[in-house]
Chains A and B, each alone.
Chain A
Amino acid sequence: EAQVTQNPRYLITVTGKKLTVTCSQNMNHEYMSWYRQDPGLGLRQIYYSMNVEVTDKGDVPEGYKVSRKEKRNFPLILESPSPNQTSLYFCASRVGRGHEQYFGPGTRLTVT
């Protein structure tokens, strides 16, 4: 089954404790992205990747890091989480520009 998986689905952590949210897709897609979803703000892109070892900032990259060492994986790293990073995070992938984007199930992160 074609899918994007994320782990963990739920995470509660404390300010400053480094964390990683994993993302994996099994569709051999080149493009992968991370979004955060906040009430009233919709989906905002954090980082994206056009291929292995090619990443770039989206609209709200501050406080986040990503890596793309393999085509299928695109982890999101929060080196020092802060409460304003409490949000619902989605990983997504697509085969290329102008094509359907597939979203993962989401990771709800709470930073206290």
Chain B
Amino acid sequence: GENVEQHPSTLSVQEGDSAVIKCTYSDSASNYFPWYKQELGKGPQLIIDIRSNVGEKKDQRIAVTLNKTAKHFSLHITETQPEDSAVYFCAASRGGSGNTPLVFGKGTRLSVIA
């Protein structure tokens, strides 16, 4: 089955700097790669996703890149703000029929220091 590795497990950045979180996946058939943000005491919430037919997607200060050949994808947050502090999860799943659950990385705790 799919295996998703996420690095780093913790990340501290100064406010205004950029943050990058990286994930690798094992199943070459995976084609959907979402990123979730989990704030303290809440459930994870989707912040951006990318499908295998594109290499990059951007939404304001957040961008995701995908390298299918290398089987890795990354989350980039620019101009970080204190409210970006949270736990971030990457995930991967395949399309098609049958069982295609989302498989999550172990998470990255991001701290933005004001």
Contacts and interface: CB of A to CB of B under 8 A. Distances in A.
B89 interface: yes
Nearest to A41: B106
Interface residues of A, number: 24
Given A56-B99, A58-B101, A97-B95, A104 B43 contact: yes
Interface residues of B, number: 28
Contacts of B6: 42
Contact of B45 (A40, A97, A98, A103): A103
B107 A98 contact: no
A103 B101 contact: no
A21 B96 CA distance: 31
A106 B45 CA distance: 12
A8 B68 CA distance: 41
A105 B43 contact: yes
A103 to B, nearest CB: 3
Interface string B79-114: 000000000010001111001111111110000000
B46 interface: yes
Interface string B11-53: 0000000000000000000011010100001111110010100
Contacts of A1: none
A98 B42 CA distance: 23
A25 interface: no
**Listed residue (B31, B89, B102) with the most chain A CB atoms within 10 angstroms of its CB:** B102
B104 A42 contact: yes
A85 interface: no
A24 interface: no
B44 A90 contact: yes
**Listed residue (B46, B89, B96, B105) with the most chain A CB atoms within 10 angstroms of its CB:** B46
B45 A33 contact: no
28 contacts: A4-B43, A33-B101, A35-B104, A40-B106, A42-B104, A42-B105, A42-B106, A42-B107, A43-B89, A43-B107, A45-B102, A45-B103, A48-B101, A50-B99, A58-B101, A90-B43, A97-B32, A97-B93, A97-B94, A97-B96, A97-B100, A100-B34, A100-B46, A102-B46, A103-B45, A104-B43, A106-B41, A106-B42
